[in-house]
Amino acid sequence: MKKFWFTMMLLMAISMLSLPVCAEEEAKDITEEVLTGPSELNPEKILGPGGVGIGTYKDIMMSFGATLRMIPTFEANWDFGMSDNTDGFFYTEPVKTFARGAFNAASAANNVYTSSVALNNAISADRGIQSAFDDYANSLFAANSVLGDAVKPAADGAAQIQSAAGAASLLTSSSTATTYTTAISTGTAAAANYQAAIASKDITVAGAALQAIAADSDYKAAVAAGNATAAQTRAAVVAAPYVMNAAIAAADAKGEKEGAALRAVFADTNYQAAAVAGNSAGMQTAAQSVVVKAVGAAGDAAANSVIKSQSSPLIAGGNTIVTGVTQNITRNPNATAGNISDAVAYTTALNAQVQSFSPYYLADSFLRTHSNESGSVNDGYIRTETKLYFNAMPKDKKWSFYAALEYDKPIDTNTVDNRGGKDSSSSNFGLERLNASIELTPGLRFHGGWDVWGVDIIESASMVYGDDNPGFWLTGIYDKTAFSAAWLKLEENDFQNDASQHRGVSDEDRDLFGGYFDFKFDGTDQNKMRFFYLYDRIRNVPSLDLTGALAARAGLADYAGIYGNNGIARSKATPPDTDAHTAGGYYLGKFGVLELMAEGVYKFGEARDTGLKGVYNGVSTIQYDDFDIASYAFAGDIGLEFGERVGWNSLRFHAGAMYTSGDDDAADDKLGGYSGATNAQRFSKMWGGENTIIADTNFVMGTGLYGYIPEFYGNGTPVFVGGIQNFTGTGNGRGDNPGLTMYSFGFTLRPKIFLIYHSNVNMFHWNEDFYVCNMVQPMQINHSTRSLEKTPYTKVEGGYAGTEWDNEITLALNKNMFIKAQAAFFFPGDTVKEVTKALGAESDETASRVGFEFIWNF
């Protein structure tokens, strides 16, 4: 603070030292709005500034001019000291933690789902069931370590089924082994007895075999030849089937299973080959192999039977878990287990994205930074604004042409070496103003281009509209009446830099249609009534708040802020169809030293398909998608001009007030917060000023460029109903804003034409309660659901927001060179302190701005 007061005292000293070089007769009135141009030959205000005449050979008059402003600026605590109490904004650790956890959860759930599909396929094919079930069980065991208690019952169930299947397999295998052992031993004994009966020629036991042997020709030939060995071998071959039948009969007598088991052994080709060869060892090996296979098959069948009978509920439970994970990650309540691949793809991309974030997505200086005509600035910088003016008009004024080229940027070596931009691709030197007109009839002119046009700008409260947007307008100026009608194009969707950027909807533009009618009681602008109407057709602005806009830029719109996508995860916010109408008027009066201003406006219309229904706004879920606009504003000012009475150029005092309605019901479908088509209170001659803190964009105060209304704040339904076009898509112009009451007091001292001191005190009160997002930590982990959620918004009660004291000294060194010194201080009130607390870093330091302007104008 001491630094600022020292700077002010130093500037005053410089100004006093400069006074002798200024000649009063050389000075000119530099307080007139420079945008309207000189007035002597230009009462219609159809030309721009430019005092250098250019000689021509015909009847066309031409002029050239320029304005150079060099503005060193020193700012402190633009965020009321919040940056001193936080390391940054948008703390990213919660989203990093969530991304890692969500990726692991999605991967684990995906393994559960894919292994369940494989298990179902195995059951259908009746092949590989145990292996598939083991894979499924293992996926549940792994998911249990990731997803916790939600999976434990399923994992325990899988373990129980595995145990039951194992027990069934062991029991059945043991029983099968016993059956085969019994069958083989019984068959072996029966075969031995039958073979003994053959050897003893016991017809009672082995009569059939003996008859077959005796009848066999090969046997008889061997006997006739006296070849006992050959005869014995042939007898064994002929008797073999009878021996097997005897063994089978004995096994059948033992039991059906035993008979079947022995038949399986005898049917084995390896066993049969060994038997034919008389290879006892081979027969034994083959029999053992058959037993092993049978025991294994029986055990598998038993295990498979258990799995088939018990796995369906387990698979269903697993799919329920997968569905829950999918819905939780994708935020799609209609998602199924089959959509888990979407969750995997999303978390893979999200994890890759957020792990590269710094601990804070935004620096601690974020709310200390503000945007003005020159760019995004904070703390201390030197701004330069250079304009070149070109004018042409015939002597009969049938037509006119005015153009202004402008370069407006904070400067450093890179800026000037890149001829106007921060880098080689961002030069901002271009055509700032263009106004071409033609006279249709005396007093009636048609204009095309972009120049200042408004309905209540400068001379009134500047609550409705005033800007230099492109389009066409018609003006009529007569003795006691005047009118104007305009069509202005604020955004054109049908023009893009690349074909891929077209959105496919031809009318997603923003058009402003309006007009006014003046009645001048005495033929001057000092005593008049103006009636005006505006239709703001808005098709290009999504419904979101500042936090939602920042989150969307970081790819986190599903997790922070309010974003009008109907609650559908990863969906883009669609601009609603908004029709906003404003009707009103103002009165200006001057009676001796008394100067009066009174203005009133009413705003109405509707916003359809906002995309807000189903969106959680940090307090509750929004219930409406369509909203009605119904808001109003009024202002008044009383001025006393004593300049003539004391022999000064001006000695003026004023007291005024402005009231804009706020939205007082967060749960209804009405938008009661007033916001103009452009909030331009900074340009009002009653309480404005370029050096203001509140109207040079202040996110803590919720204000955009040019305005005093807290248009970035609201009670939960951030529908854009009007505001400066350059900020659209960032959460400005909210129809649910809390509204503003302002009291303004000030004076202007102008003892000499070359010396002006202007001071103004504006006191601000926010009318209704509103909700504020914690921008330090806008996201948090819900540990019970392991999901990433919005940090609940904090309610801030309406009340005293603070007071701004603005001061400006202007010194004319001659008619073409001027020096200004400016000092502004904003003393925050309790409501702003509560806002900083809700934002995440409570503070209430005084904000200040000290600036100097060195102006060359010709």
Query: Can you give the pTM of this predicted structure?
Result: 0.82
Amino acid at 384: T
Q: For residues 730-750, give the mean pLDDT.
A: 97
In b/e form, how buried is each residue of 181-204, taking b as 16+ CB within 10 angstroms?
ebbbebbbebbebbbebbeeeeee
User: Could you read off the pLDDT of 47-76 as tens digits, one per residue?
Assistant: 777 777 777 777 888 889 999 999 999 999
Q: For residues 598-622, give the mean pLDDT.
A: 96
User: Could you read off the pLDDT of 300-330 as tens digits, one per residue?
Assistant: 888 889 888 998 998 898 899 999 889 888 8
* CA-based nearest residue to 205, from 220, 216, 193, 215: 193
The DSSP element (H or E) to which 804 belongs, if any, is strand 799-814
CA dist 99 → 45, 92, 178, 331 (Å)? 60, 10, 57, 14
Amino acid at 499: A
pLDDT of residue 14: 37
CA dist 802 → 371, 680, 827 (Å)? 21, 19, 5
Is residue 551 within 8 Å of residue 561, measured between CB atoms? Answer: yes
pLDDT of residue 32: 35
The full DSSP string for 744-772 is: EEEEEEEEETTEEEEEEEEEEEE-S-EEE
- What secondary structure letter does DSSP report for 176? H
Is residue 544 within 8 Å of residue 562, measured between CB atoms? Answer: yes
The full DSSP string for 77-145 is: -TTTTGGGG-S-EEE-HHHHHHHHHHHHHHHHHHHHHHHHHHHHHHHHHTSSHHHHHHHHHHHHHHHHH
pLDDT of residue 3: 45
Q: For residues 23-36, give the mean pLDDT.
A: 34
The full DSSP string for 263-280 is: HHHHH-HHHHHHHHTT-H
d(CA 562, CA 545): 6
CA-CA-CA-CA dihedral for 573, 798, 82, 844, to nearest 10 = 170
Residues in the chain: 858
The full DSSP string for 136-161 is: HHHHHHHHHHHHGGGTHHHHHHHHHH
- Looking at per-residue pLDDT, the higher value among 593 and 268 belongs to 593
- Could you tell me the two tokens for 257? 């299973």
User: Could you read off the pLDDT of 614-635 as tens digits, one per residue?
Assistant: 999 999 999 999 999 999 999 9
d(CA 683, CA 666): 32
Q: For residues 737-759, give the mean pLDDT.
A: 96
Matching residue, tokens 């290009």: 540
Tell whether the model's pLDDT for residue 536 goes beyond 50.
Answer: yes
For the chain, the maximum distance between any two Cα atoms, rounded to a whole number of angstroms, is: 166
pLDDT of residue 740: 98
The full DSSP string for 18-69 is: HGGG--GGG-----S-GGG--SSS-TT--S----EEE--SSSEEEEEEEEEE
- Could you tell me the two tokens for 412? 């450093």
The full DSSP string for 274-324 is: HHHTT-HHHHHHHHHHHHHHHHHHHHHHHHHHHHHHHHHHHHHHHHHHHHH
Q: Domain extents for the chain?
A: 2-30+459-469+504-857, 97-346
Residues paired with 526 in a beta bridge: none
Matching residue, tokens 């009340």: 799
pLDDT of residue 425: 60
CA dist 23 → 20, 26, 29, 808, 844 (Å)? 8, 5, 13, 21, 45
Tell whether the model's pLDDT for residue 30 goes beyond 90.
Answer: no
Residues paired with 636 in a beta bridge: 598, 657
CA dist 807 → 76, 154, 517, 747, 761 (Å)? 16, 73, 35, 10, 9
The DSSP element (H or E) to which 743 belongs, if any, is strand 740-752
User: Could you read off the pLDDT of 396-439 as tens digits, one per residue?
Assistant: 899 999 999 999 989 988 888 776 666 656 666 789 999 999 99
Is residue 454 within 8 Å of residue 439, measured between CB atoms? Answer: no
* CA-based nearest residue to 759, from 852, 659, 651: 651
Question: What is the number of H-type helices and E-type strands within the chain?
Answer: 15, 32
Residues 6+ apart with CB under 8 A from 10: none
- Could you tell me the two tokens for 586? 């103002």
Residues paired with 386 in a beta bridge: 68, 407
- Could you tell me the two tokens for 646? 């004391």
d(CA 229, CA 675): 121
User: Could you read off the pLDDT of 180-224 as tens digits, one per residue?
Assistant: 889 888 888 988 888 888 888 888 888 888 888 888 888 888 888
Residues 6+ apart with CB under 8 A from 458: 33, 466, 683, 684, 685
Matching residue, tokens 């029991």: 171
Tell whether the model's pLDDT for residue 29 goes beyond 60.
Answer: no
Work out the angle between the directed axes of helices 129-147 and 152-199 (0-180°, nearest 10): 160
Tell whether the model's pLDDT for residue 476 goes beyond 60.
Answer: yes
Confidence at 750, pLDDT banded by 50, 70, 90: very high
pLDDT of residue 362: 94
Residue 117, Cβ neighbours under 10 Å: how many?
16
Is residue 733 within 8 Å of residue 723, measured between CB atoms? Answer: yes
Is residue 105 within 8 Å of residue 786, measured between CB atoms? Answer: yes
Is residue 806 within 8 Å of residue 689, measured between CB atoms? Answer: yes
- Could you tell me the two tokens for 599? 């203005």
d(CA 643, CA 623): 58
pLDDT of residue 422: 62
- Could you tell me the two tokens for 451? 């120049």
Tell whether the model's pLDDT for residue 609 goes beyond 70.
Answer: yes
Work out the angle between the directed axes of helices 269-276 and 280-330 (0-180°, nearest 10): 170
Pairing of β 380-394 and β 360-362: unpaired
Lowest mean pLDDT across 10-19, 75-84, 228-237, 697-706:
10-19
Per DSSP, the three-state class of 7 is helix
d(CA 92, CA 362): 10
Amino acid at 219: Y
CA dist 232 → 218, 222, 236 (Å)? 11, 9, 6
CA dist 25 → 18, 751, 753, 815 (Å)? 16, 14, 9, 9
Is residue 377 within 8 Å of residue 697, measured between CB atoms? Answer: no
Lowest mean pLDDT across 175-189, 471-485, 580-594, 709-723:
175-189
Count CA atoms closer than 13 A to 295's CA, side-chain side: 16
Confidence at 505, pLDDT banded by 50, 70, 90: low
| 336-544-347 Cα angle (round to 5) | 35
